[in-house]
Amino acid sequence: MGSRIQVCLLVISVQILLVAAQMNNLDFAALNALKEIWKNTPLNWVGSDPCGKSGKSWEGIHCTNSRVTSITLASMGLTGQLSGDIQGLSELQTLDLSYNSGLIGSLPQSIGNLTKLSNLILVSCGFSGPIPETIGSLQQLSILSLTSNSFSGPIPPSIGNLSNLYWLDLSGNKLSGTIPVSPGLDMLVNAKHFHCGRNQFSGEIPSQLFNANMSLIHVLFDNNKLNGKIPSTLGLVKTLEILFLSNNQLTGPFPDLTGLNSLNHVDLSNNTFDKTDFPPWVETLRSLETLMMEDTGLQGQIPDAFFSLPLLIKVVLRNNKLNGTLVVNSDSSVHLQLIDLQNNYITDYMVGTRFNSELILVGNPVCEGARGTESHCIIQQSNSSYSIEPKTCMQVTCKSHQISSPNCRCAYPYTGLLILGAPSFNVKNSNIYTSLENYLMRSFQSYQLPVDSVSLSKNPDDSLIILSLEVFPYGVEHFDRTGISGIAFVLSNMTFYPMKPFGPLFFIADPYSYFAGTKKSSSAGIIGVAVGCSLLVLLCLLAGIYAFHQKRRAEISDKQNNPFASWHRNESNGGAPQLKGARCFSFEELKKYTNTFSDANCIGVGGYGKVYRGTLPSEQLVAIKRAKQGSTQGDLEFKSELELLSRVHHKNVVSLVGFCFEQDEQMLVYEYIANGTLKESLSGLLGS
């Protein structure tokens, strides 16, 4: 008996093993087939084991128990089609092929066989054709993001079967037809995001679309061809935070949204609603930050109490028939930035004494005649030209296509546009950009991605908040494929998990074509050169340290750590500083040249510290930037700045004469130049 059971078990386990092996082969066959059709697959896609038993799997492939569970190949420059072969990857949970605009053709029906799939992310690819109705078989799907492709045809009603769906993003396609319900979107009670803007959906918004069981926070159907009235059932979705229905052909009265206490951002602009008085329920929306109702048939007076909503930031009610006297009391929201009432019938206005936000009344009777010159009757241009303070990195000349990083290193950054989802985000507050940069850095670090720094800059654009993002590689000039797809994955995840106060971040990547180590031989060559350079640096360094040491020994008995020695020890900060003709001053020397840092010699003060004028024994005038206690930079930053400045000899830039680094002091000694230019240069220096 016992032995029979044993034999039986043996047979079963052999069968299990066989099945496992067979499945493995299927994974391999599927990937191999994709590799055949796709161009630009990672170079290490060779051999017969994508999961890499030795621990080195194919780039972009992750395995669990020797089965392929994740493919993340965002921004790889892939071209070709997504063929039905993908169905062989039956354990696949994540498929992210975003930002490969060369991936074209339709999605295969057989994608419905990937029953373990939970993330399907195809942002900004070149896919077209219908969304296959088999998508409804992906019971585990929680993120479906097909945004910015060319998908056409209707939303398949089977999508209603995706009971685990959290994120539905179909925006920016050519989808058409009516919004499907029962079966359809109304069944997605766990979904928080319906992003369906910028398509060609038509017909009425079905009243079944919304019900009290839903947990939606974003409902975006802007820029479609929807008509009819907004169903009153919308008022049942108490979780709603963002509602965008602008640029449709909606009619009828507005629904009553009283009780939507989480609603932050509402945009109903450019529809053909009935002429209506300013809706009374708007005043009850305690969380409201943005109200956009441009060209929506609004008439009558805006109630004074509306501007007292505590979180209100931005109100755009252009091209309506609002009339009477506009009153913005002193108890209005302290966050208010903009009230845009262009082209209405406002005849007068009264604003509280503390009111200092932008109010635009151009095109109202109040601006006719003599009052036309008042500031509210003129559109100020200054707004859109706001830009983030330039980084203090001065004229570094980089090779073509390379860009200087915030740490002043030339490299090939990964770049793209970052679109912020919170429409009332305060674009004038530059701290916000810094904290966004820090947030991005922390996110990259938490995924252990080789990122050195990130840099954001604001594109002048009024309606959306679009930032240019540059992500710089750490310690090298190029990212490799793993780095790029990892960064793209993190950035696309920020879309799905909105972070206050930034809201969802939507990233549009530029193609990256500077991958490192494209050829084995060349990367070996680079290593060779790198080793050679390090030796050279080491030699220079030893000489430098020797000279430095001698000098210091002569002058100071109480010695501190030699900063260059510590740079030498710690390779991670890039080795020794390379200084061109900059000399090292002692603290005592600089003290003497500035009359003991007297106030009379102080010519500028900034966050960093003070700048003093000094005279060297050679009679040369110098400007000495002295970091105040507590704001000294880390060794690395100080060294970078030193290196940079010592290389800069441009007519409009002050050049570095020397530096001092001792007794907790960090000082940089610059050429002193005449007034006008000095001011500019100083403001640059003090900015750091």
Ligand X SMILES: *[C@@H]1O[C@H](CO)[C@@H](O)[C@H](O)[C@H]1NC(C)=O
Q: Is 246 in the site for ligand X (CB under 6 A)?
A: yes
Nearer CB in complex with ligand X: 41/270: 270
From the list 103-111, 292-300, 401-409, 530-538, the region that binds ligand X by CB under 6 A is: 292-300
One residue of 98, 158, 270, 271 binding ligand X per CB under 6 A: 270
From the list 74-82, 265-273, 386-394, 586-594, the region that binds ligand X by CB under 6 A is: 265-273
Contact 292/271 with Cβ under 8 angstroms?
no
From the list 189-197, 288-296, 475-483, 559-567, the region that binds ligand X by CB under 6 A is: 288-296
One residue of 100, 148, 158, 269 binding ligand X per CB under 6 A: 269
Range 368-397, binding ligand X (CB under 6 A): none
From the list 290-298, 481-489, 621-629, 661-669, the region that binds ligand X by CB under 6 A is: 290-298
Q: For the chain, how far is it from start to end, CA to CA, in angstroms?
A: 82
Residue partners of 421: CB distance under 8 A and separation at least 6: 242, 498, 502, 503, 504, 505, 506
From the list 121-129, 289-297, 496-504, 556-564, the region that binds ligand X by CB under 6 A is: 289-297
One residue of 142, 145, 247, 455 binding ligand X per CB under 6 A: 247
In the complex, the smallest distance separating the C-beta of residue 313 from ligand X, rounded to whole angstroms, is 15
In the complex, the smallest distance separating the C-beta of residue 245 from ligand X, rounded to whole angstroms, is 11
- Among 3, 73, 153, smallest CA distance to 486 is for 73
Q: Using CB under 6 A, count the residues that bind ligand X.
A: 9
Range 560-599, binding ligand X (CB under 6 A): none
With H, G, I as helix, E, B as strand and everything else as coil, classify residue 232. Answer: helix
Nearer CB in complex with ligand X: 382/463: 463
Is 529 exposed, middle or buried, given 0-12, 13-18 or 19+ CB atoms closer than 10 A? Answer: exposed
Query: Residue 331, CB half-sphere, CA atoms under 13 Å: how many?
Result: 5
Please work out, in degrees rounded to the nearest 5, the angle formed at the alpha carbon of residue 286 by the alpha carbons of 283 and 291.
60
In the complex, the smallest distance separating the C-beta of residue 310 from ligand X, rounded to whole angstroms, is 24
One residue of 245, 292, 668, 673 binding ligand X per CB under 6 A: 292
Nearer CB in complex with ligand X: 113/270: 270
Is 227 exposed, middle or buried, given 0-12, 13-18 or 19+ CB atoms closer than 10 A? Answer: middle
Interatomic CA distance for residues 425 and 432, integer angstroms: 9
Interatomic CA distance for residues 479 and 8, integer angstroms: 53
Q: Is 294 in the site for ligand X (CB under 6 A)?
A: yes
From the list 231-239, 263-271, 385-393, 427-435, the region that binds ligand X by CB under 6 A is: 263-271
Q: What backbone phi and psi angles, to 5 degrees, belong to 631?
A: -115, 20
Q: List, in sequence order, the alpha helices (H) in 286-413.
A: none
Interatomic CA distance for residues 314 and 425, integer angstroms: 9
Output the DSSP codes for 504-573.
-EEEEEPP----S-SSHHHHHHHHHHHHHHHHHHHHHHHHHHHHHHHHHHHH-SS----HHHHHHH-GGG
Q: Is 283 in the site for ligand X (CB under 6 A)?
A: no
| Amino acid letter for position 529 | V
Binding mask 449-478 for ligand X (x = CB under 6 A): --------------x---------------
Nearer CB in complex with ligand X: 245/454: 245
Nearer CB in complex with ligand X: 96/267: 267
**Which residues contact ligand X by CB under 6 A?**
246-247, 267, 269-270, 292, 294-295, 463
